[in-house]
Structure 1
Amino acid sequence: MASLYLTHPEVVIDPHLDVTKWGLSFTGRTRIEAAIDRGIFDQIKKIISSDEQKAIDAATLIGDHHSLQFQTDPRCGENDRSATGFLPKDEFEAVATQFFAHPTQSIRGWERAIDAQRRIVYAVNDHMKMAADQHVLFVGHGAVGTLLKCQLAQRPISRDEDQHHLGAPGGGNLFAFDWAEQRLVSDWVALEYWT
């Protein structure tokens, strides 16, 4: 039975605020609301969210519409980048490329990709064991979502697997997976194109 992994869409970027506290922008909220109206999440029976505000915002919109409580799990959070804090876009992209290219190394103090992958895989496994064959929606982030996707697809960690290469560049992308069979059902697809 397929479950979904959703990355939060566009956020309000505030360099003076901890990245984990950033919320969804008007564009991000509008994209989630349009997806809800199209019925994308109608089969979902359980929602697990990262404990970061942008993911919580998305999970709240979906959960409220479907009268579903959601659970937060810090293990579903984005890779820990607190060592550098906010980085300008070009610098961030360069460091992110290194993060994926050298998964066994800590790049500028960031959490290692292999550790972030292990964390998200364990989290998803724990929640899926309790899901009783329900359709589950995980609401999270691009990097850890990519690491989860790599595990499910049995592909090496690579930035080529990232949502920005395959879905909408601002986030708000999904993939479907079958946890019991440990397989990827679909690759990244933007909310607007999900069927």
Structure 2
Amino acid sequence: MTDRLEPGTDEAMPRIYFLTHPQVVIDPAVSVPRWPLSDVGRRRARQFADSLADGEVTAVWSSREQKALDGGAIIAGHLGVPHRIDSELGENDRSATGYIAPPEFWEVVAAFFGKPDESVRGWETARHAQDRIVTAMRRLARDEPTRGDIVVVSHGGVGELLMAHLQGAAIGAAEKPQHSGGGCWIEIDKDGFSLLAGWRNVPD
């Protein structure tokens, strides 16, 4: 993790650690929002929490999807801080199709990012999802009562849309998480809502 600055310096600032959930148990017979973290994903969530144990995190937020709930609960429990839930931090609404197996899934994802104002196969549009996500992130940055650092556990697509906003880039053109299994994070200045550090991976 980034070395923290001493409190009281001009550069010390509360921040948001935005983490994409790590590996999940993929089960086509189960609704995608109900997929849990795998054993590997749970271990990597604990590693991420370990890396923040000496920091200043005072709250953890997650979406309502099981994989994000699992990650949020692990991190909050390890750090002894509240775990709060905001459904607006969820992945784009894909309920029109349900599970789509790769490689077809990645073709649909490419169309989702490539045509941000169109609904691909009935999915929520990328533009609408980005507006929802940025609004939710700004709200929790402003309203979280503990006033320290925040961890947000969410999803890869959410992270890509958020990063496009933070970088002032077109949807689909921003820096992308590098780990195919998730477990990647960025750091955001909580007060100014600006990017402090780009994507890094929790170790495997």
User: Scaled by the length of structure 2, what TM-score is found?
Assistant: 0.87
Residue in 2 that maps onto 1:105:
118
Say if 2:19 and 2:154, in contact at 8 Å, map to a contact too: yes
Structure 2 CA distance for partners of 1:143 and 1:159, relative to 1, 3 Å: farther
- Is 1:140 paired with 2:151? no
Larger radius of gyration: 2
- Is 1:47 paired with 2:47? no
Cα separation, 2, equivalents of 1:181 and 1:51:
26
How far has the Cα of 1:41 moved from its partner?
7.5
User: Scaled by the length of structure 1, what TM-score is found?
Assistant: 0.91
Q: Which amino acid aligns with 1:24?
A: L
How far has the Cα of 1:160 moved from its partner?
5.3
> Alpha-carbon deviations, 1:95-133, whole Å to 9, x = none?
001111111111111100010000111111111111364
Q: Which amino acid aligns with 2:151?
A: L
How far has the Cα of 1:89 moved from its partner?
1.3
Say if 1:101 and 1:158, in contact at 8 Å, map to a contact too: yes
Cα separation, 2, equivalents of 1:55 and 1:186:
22
Q: Which runs of 5+ in 2 are unaligned?
A: 1-12
Say if 2:164 and 2:173, in contact at 8 Å, map to a contact too: no
Q: Find 1:6's aligned residue among 19, 23, 47.
A: 19
Q: Which amino acid aligns with 1:140?
A: S
Residue in 1 that maps onto 2:6:
none
Q: Which runs of 5+ in 1 are unaligned?
A: none
Greater than 2 Å deviation, 4+ residue runs: 34-43, 159-162, 179-182
Q: Which amino acid aligns with 1:141?
A: H
How far has the Cα of 1:40 moved from its partner?
6.2
Identity %: 37
Matched pairs, number: 190
Find the residue that maps to 2:203 and give its secondary structure: helix
Q: Which amino acid aligns with 1:69?
A: P
How far has the Cα of 1:37 moved from its partner?
2.8
- Structure with bigger helix share is 1
